[in-house]
Amino acid sequence: MKYLHTMIRVMDLDRALHFFVEILGLKVTRRNEHPEGKFTLVFLSTGETDAPEIELTYNWGQTEPYTSGRNFGHLAYEVDNIYETCTQIQKMGVVINRPPRDGRMAFVRSPDLISIELLQKGKSLPLMEPWLSMPNSGEW
């Protein structure tokens, strides 16, 4: 068995792509328009060979926000430097919901409120401000 992808329903495809591609740096691997079913599928990955993908499903004409169940936790990505990554993401206007106070882990949310965990590659970095004293913001 091979893990293929995780599907996320999105309300605004352009906004979701901005977040996942421009802010998180994922790559679009393929895009499929399905006019007969009135939906678009966009697959994203880190670009590494055989990397698992995220499938963004955009249902044309969807006007009501999707409910989110507690059974879905989060997506997780390893980063080379948690502090630099969070600083860059924050400069792009994204709230760091759970700052990397421990030098290891942070959480942000996509425009469709999907929790994204960012994990430091290897060992935790030395504790440092402003992250050490930064409080949580909202849900993550």
Residue 111 CB burial class (10 angstroms; 0-12, 13-18, ≥19): middle
CB neighbours of residue 85 within 10 Å: 20
Closest CA to 44 of 63, 17, 62, 67: 17
**Annotation says 117 is catalytic:** yes
Q: Sheet of 105-109: strands edge to edge?
A: 75-79, 115-120, 105-109
Instruction: Exactly one of 64, 117, 129, 139 is catalytic; name it.
Output: 117
Catalytic machinery residues: 117
